[in-house]
Amino acid sequence: MKTTFILIKLMHQLPYKRLKGLKEEYVGSFETEDERLNPPVPYGDFFVKYGRESIDQVQKRMLDTMTKIGRENKENENVLVVSHAGAIFNFLVAVGIDIEKVF
């Protein structure tokens, strides 16, 4: 929570953009439901039958958005990108990071 307040303060001092491509994974009709309804991890494409976007869709969305951010900013310019755990996880997988070594 402390990080949230720091970021909110910075957002009023620095330019920022909200990009839909960085949003969390959409889980269809499970959206806003109790987490106890989730199956054991990894979820894989379990939620697709409930209207969720697939793992491939999340990875492509995150990869496309991060590529766009990289192209729109100057070389050696600092950029803070904030997203959600599941979306970040899928981005790391999309770029070939060995998740077992990270976590």
pTM across the whole model: 0.79
Q: Where are the domains of the chain?
A: 21-102
Describe the crossing of helices 55-72 and 85-94 by its angle, rounded to 10 degrees. Answer: 80
Structure confidence at residue 1 (pLDDT): 59
Question: Quick one: pLDDT band at residue 99, thresholds 50, 70, 90?
Answer: confident
pLDDT higher at 10 or 65: 65
- Per-residue pLDDT of 38-77, as tens digits, reads 888 778 888 899 998 999 999 999 999 999 999 999 888 8
* Distance separating the N- and C-terminal Cα atoms of the chain: 22
pLDDT for residue 77: 86
Which tokens in the block code for residue 5?
Answer: 């307040």
- 26, 35, 29: which is closest to 62 by C-alpha? 26
